[in-house]
Structure 1
Amino acid sequence: MKRFAKPLLLVILSIIAIFTVTDPRPMISPGSLIPGHAPLERDCFACHEPFLGTSSARCITCHKIDAIGITNTKGVVITKKGTKTRFHHQLTDNTCTACHSDHAGVARYRTKVQFSHGALDTALAGQCSQCHQPPDDALHRPSVKQCSLCHGQGQWKPASLDHKPWFELDKDHHVPCNRCHLENNYKTYTCTDCHEHSADKIRQEHIEEGIHDYERCVRCHRNANEDDAKRRWHSEGGKPKHEDEDD
């Protein structure tokens, strides 16, 4: 067996040497380049520095940071609407490969751009519309400048909202938003569309307690506990706490 080892090793090394000379790409390239970089397929040093890897300085010789999203590398104006990519010049770290990868080989798992909001200048904190297209529907229109109330930086969906300051959503009140906020207008709400709630019943029960302003439910009712609402009302001499929170 040992007498075949050296000849076999020589054959393998010879094959490697032949491929290295004739077509080195399969030996050193993790995969094909994207179509836009195809002309650079045989010019590794257009993007790579010997023994140092990719260089952002070489990226921006073609991809000018201030022109990203405005013109392509040939200087042609980009006409596609709805894209906001000019945040690149506000990044604190302009290491292109932190988000972008070209070869589809060993970096196949990075099929999507891996972006961290932590790379942005701190002056952009909370300024979502500088990069994202603001929504223009009835639900979002009043709060387009307060995205963090529902959205986080980790992922855009699903959205979440701490509803407790207005009304605690217990197991009996986990319903679609438009069940209480008609037409997705969360500036208004209704409580008369569920179980025993009815306008006449609510009116009768509150008049008996001497409560005449009974249409703004969350002034007293912050959860499903009726006793808690009574305590809230009577502890303030008929004036509920946090009455501004229903605005």
Structure 2
Amino acid sequence: WGTVRSPAAFWAPGDLSRYHVDRGGCTNCHEPFRGPSPARCIACHTEGYFEARATPAVAGWHRALVVERQACTGCHSEHRGTLAQITEQTRTNPHGEFIFRATRTNSCTVCHEFGNRIATHPTLRDEAVVRQLYEKGRGAHRPGRMGHCLVCHGGGGP
């Protein structure tokens, strides 16, 4: 935090990560006197950006956030140094990429509701794709069973 002896810390809270260090001045990410805004993030991190640089699951997850112009700061933070990890919350896909081929979807949010924080345990949505998986697998697609599918369908085992 800034002090009388070091007033620059009021407006320069720390070094940017390696991901954003070459992006220019403060106003590329921050609204004057307000901080970062979704509009400023989306100016660089468009749907196309994620499609070109991310796995289908990550691109699908971010697509809804970009379209809805939701705040990125719930999961990402900056000014913690050049080598800092800027993603606060992550989840690994316990189903493997197989689930996206099997459901013909490309986002975890098609089947799961995460609430405000991705790190929380998701609940299943009452969606057609979820009901079809339950019906098709005759019970194999119940919570906690996906690991058994992955033994044969790729991605590891239980």
Q: Which bin holds the TM-score, normalised by the shorter protein? A: 0.3 to 0.5
TM-score between both structures, scaled by the size of structure 1: 0.32
Structure 2 length as normaliser, TM-score?
0.47
Structure showing greater relative contact order (alpha-carbon pairs closer than 8 Å, 6 or more residues apart) = 2
Task: Name the larger-Rg structure.
Answer: 1
